[in-house]
A and B are shown apart, each in its own frame.
Chain A
Amino acid sequence: MDGLPIAAQDDSWEVAGRRFRSRLIVGTGRYKDLEETGRAIEASGAEIVTVAVRRVNLGDPKAPMLQDYVDPRRYTYLPNTAGCFTAEDAVRTLRLAREAGGWNLVKLEVLGPPPFLYPDMRATFEALEALLKDGFEVMVYCSDDPIAAKRLEEMGAVAVMPLGAPIGSGLGIQNPVMIRSIIENAKVPVLVDAGVGTASDAAIAMELGCDAVLMNSAIAHAKDPVQMARAMKAAVEAGRLSFLAGRMPRQYAADPSSPLAGLIR
């Protein structure tokens, strides 16, 4: 962090009582192999990584596991409910995750059908209610709907995470107005989760005032994932600094940068 202004060095954020310096959360899926996963995550500077919960392969019990390449003592594992299409499945999955990992901070996502896998908010509300009763601290993937986001917060979600575009689409932030509206009304952290395709998308999300950005495919499916992880780290930092600095006002005419006084005649 050398060279950054003091304000940026102190610029941490908090979710569910845990404090983090990095505002980039990365997924651990879709990489070529576990070795590449480990290197890309290291390069991203992320402190939180999302992970999925799946059956172990009984035929190959000694196969390398994610923990061998992404150390859970170094990174905060955020178990997700990817692949769950009902509230019941989501709750069951996260109970197993809590037992496997020993912590209760989780990411809830209950998705609708392909091709958009858009958040199923009715099922999401139902799952959130059950998870909160069971003592989980829940970061919730949600639609870019200010009413839904507010309701999640009021129910007790520790963070709301609207999509910028469909999962894995890489289309960038399609809905800056609604994301901004969610941020302005929220008392819990707001993260853009899903939709980022390239570094400028991450910067845009941060310039809108998000607390952090969550991404997976934008890094894992880049031609060079480790290089893209570095780009995303820089973009999130740049977007955050830009948000804190406060952009100049837009105006629809030129305004010269050099003084007009003292011109030679």
Chain B
Amino acid sequence: MNVGVAHSEQNPNVSWLNSKGIWFTYIIFVFTMHLVLLSLPFLTTAVAWTLTNVLHNVSAFYLLHVVKGAPWETSDQGKARSYTYWEQIDDGVQFTATRKFLTTVPIVLFLMASFYTKYDPTHFFINISTLAVVLIAKLPQLHGVRIFGINKY
């Protein structure tokens, strides 16, 4: 990942995400977080699952769809500056393996949270609304779109 040298990638900010090891690490990370929440005695199983789901979706939304640019100066003269992390993945190509994986994870988490919250309507409302936010932001139709100019510059 040599940034800015003659034979480097233009934007190495995202390429590491294509590795299967990173996917596995991601899953481990989410479930470790869940286990930590579950081990807290004052949280019920249902609350722990909803909390996992919400924490995951909020942080995923922030990291993938709010933060723009790259943490270092890329050699593309600032092209990545106006793109969110999700938009930088695979140079903006849609339906790549990484994108499919990142879309599937929150859905699976929701299904599991639904089961463990015993289909409770309140939990359902919280979980589905956070899920909707991350899923809608990932739609190919919304690539590069800033609704109401939010986060445009």
A binds B: no
* A interface residue numbers (CB < 8 A to B): none
* B interface residue numbers (CB < 8 A to A): none
